[in-house]
């Protein structure tokens, strides 16, 4: 009788210990577990479309800009004209997915300056890589080097690199990355963005980070954020590369959530920011 009682207590203790250890393991590895669940539950996406130029070749014109420190200094930032020229004739494709390589804005997951606020730079680098015909995501060392070069350029031109607005980002695309046609386009509906994507152009989106409702963001998300929209699904989801999370490749946002979050930067009042997007057009 005594032996039976001791054995039962031991069994209860062992069970409790196993449960405690399992809970501790789950807590310590909650990030990895969440990442695995995200992979398992992510719906099947459309086949990613690589960029080809009008000549049928991938564009390589901007690689040197990434290797050398910028020299030209602009005394004044000129506004970029707003254009409504990006249209799609006929019915929009049911789904689009552009093969944009991913870059985490904190490549080594060191969420300190300048990487904590490097979403704008990361978005530009991703779009540039797409037009260069790159097929792979950025390794940590490579991505960090590209980000630091872009940040150095912004510091030399604008006097800062944090919270660059749509016009500053567009000017960086022109003057540092070497693109000749960068458009800031006001949007009123999902169709405005889908038309751009259907034409084969990824979109750089400025947003109220908290309004994105991304569960991967710390403390509810940043006040100001920027990401790349690279497609959409048949069931109304946006396919994005969100540089603000390691789960950012092919991250899916609900259509209305992303649309409502789109605002250009206005310090202290993001909801007052214009609903506009940046479209970098290829040089060929």
**117 within some domain:** yes
Confidence (pLDDT) at 220:
92
78 and 22 share one domain: no
25 and 161 share one domain: no
**18 within some domain:** yes
Which element (helix H / strand E) includes 125? helix 119-131
27 and 68 share one domain: no
**43 within some domain:** no
Q: Which residues contact 30 (CB under 8 A, 6 or more apart)?
A: none
Across the strands, what pairs with 204?
A: 228, 278
**128 within some domain:** yes
11 and 73 share one domain: no
18 and 107 share one domain: no
Residue with tokens 């054995």: 7
115 and 195 share one domain: yes
- Give me the number of domains the chain comprises: 2
Cis ω before 114 (30° cut-off from 0): yes
Yes or no: say if 200 and 174 are a contact pair by the CB < 8 Å rule.
no
Confidence (pLDDT) at 68:
47
Domain that holds residue 25: 2-38
Tally Cβ neighbours within 10 Å of residue 94: 10
69 and 21 share one domain: no
54 and 13 share one domain: no
Confidence (pLDDT) at 65:
45
The C-alpha angle with vertex 151 and arms to 123 and 209, in degrees rounded to 5, equals 45
Confidence (pLDDT) at 43:
86
**58 within some domain:** yes
**190 within some domain:** yes
**In the chain, what's the furthest Cα-to-Cα distance?**
91
Question: Has this prediction a pTM greater than 0.85?
Answer: no
Distance CA 88, CA 97 (A): 16
Q: Smallest Cα–Cα separation from 129: which of 65, 175, 86?
A: 65
Confidence (pLDDT) at 62:
47
Radius of gyration of the chain measured on its C-alpha atoms: 22
192 and 228 share one domain: yes
Torsion of CA 251, 249, 240, 26, to 10 degrees: 20
Confidence (pLDDT) at 156:
96
- Ramachandran angles phi, psi of 59, nearest 5°: -90, 135
10 and 142 share one domain: no
Which element (helix H / strand E) includes 254? strand 251-254
**148 within some domain:** yes
134 and 61 share one domain: yes
Q: Smallest Cα–Cα separation from 207: which of 111, 281, 271, 161?
A: 271
CATH number of the domain encompassing residue 161: 3.90.70.10
Distance CA 87, CA 233 (A): 19
Yes or no: say if 87 and 197 are a contact pair by the CB < 8 Å rule.
no
The string of DSSP letters for 174-242 reads: HHTS--SEEEEEE-SSHHHHHHHHHTT--EEEEE-GGGG--TTSGGG--SSEEEEEEEE-TTSEEEEE-
142 and 197 share one domain: yes
**201 within some domain:** yes
Distance CA 280, CA 124 (A): 9
Q: What is the pLDDT along the chain (284 residues), one digit of tens a residue?
A: 555 665 666 666 767 676 776 556 655 665 555 555 555 667 899 999 999 876 555 444 444 444 444 444 444 444 444 454 578 888 999 999 999 999 999 999 999 999 999 999 999 999 999 999 999 999 999 999 999 999 999 999 999 999 999 999 999 999 999 999 999 999 999 999 999 999 999 999 999 999 999 999 999 999 999 999 999 999 999 999 999 999 999 999 999 999 999 999 999 999 999 999 999 999 98
């Amino acid at each position: 009788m005594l032996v039976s009682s001791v054995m039962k207590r031991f069994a209860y203790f062992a069970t409790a210990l196993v449960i405690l250890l399992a809970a501790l393991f789950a807590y310590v590895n909650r990030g990895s577990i969440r990442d695995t669940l995200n992979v398992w539950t992510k719906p099947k996406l459309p086949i990613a479309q690589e960029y080809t130029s009008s000549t049928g070749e991938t564009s390589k014109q901007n690689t040197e800009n990434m290797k050398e420190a910028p020299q030209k200094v602009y005394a004044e930032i000129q506004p970029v004209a707003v254009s409504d020229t990006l249209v799609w004739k006929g019915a929009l494709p049911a789904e689009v997915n552009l093969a944009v390589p991913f870059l985490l804005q904190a490549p080594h997951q060191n969420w300190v300056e300048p990487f904590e606020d490097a979403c704008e730079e990361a978005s530009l680098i991703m779009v540039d890589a797409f037009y260069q015909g790159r097929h792979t995501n950025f390794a940590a060392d490579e991505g960090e080097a590209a980000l630091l070069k872009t940040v150095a350029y912004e510091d030399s031109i604008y006097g800062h690199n944090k919270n660059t607005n749509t016009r500053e980002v567009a000017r960086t695309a022109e003057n540092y990355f070497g693109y000749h046609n960068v458009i800031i386009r006001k949007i009123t509906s999902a169709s405005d963005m889908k038309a751009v994507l259907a034409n084969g152009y990824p979109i750089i989106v400025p947003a109220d980070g908290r309004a994105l409702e991304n569960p991967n963001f710390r403390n509810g998300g940043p006040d100001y954020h920027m990401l790349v929209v690279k497609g959409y699904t048949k069931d109304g989801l946006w396919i994005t590369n969100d540089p603000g999370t390691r789960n950012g490749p092919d991250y899916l946002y609900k259509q209305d959530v992303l649309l409502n979050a789109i605002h250009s930067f206005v310090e202290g009042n993001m909801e007052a920011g214009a609903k506009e997007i940046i479209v970098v057009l290829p040089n060929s």
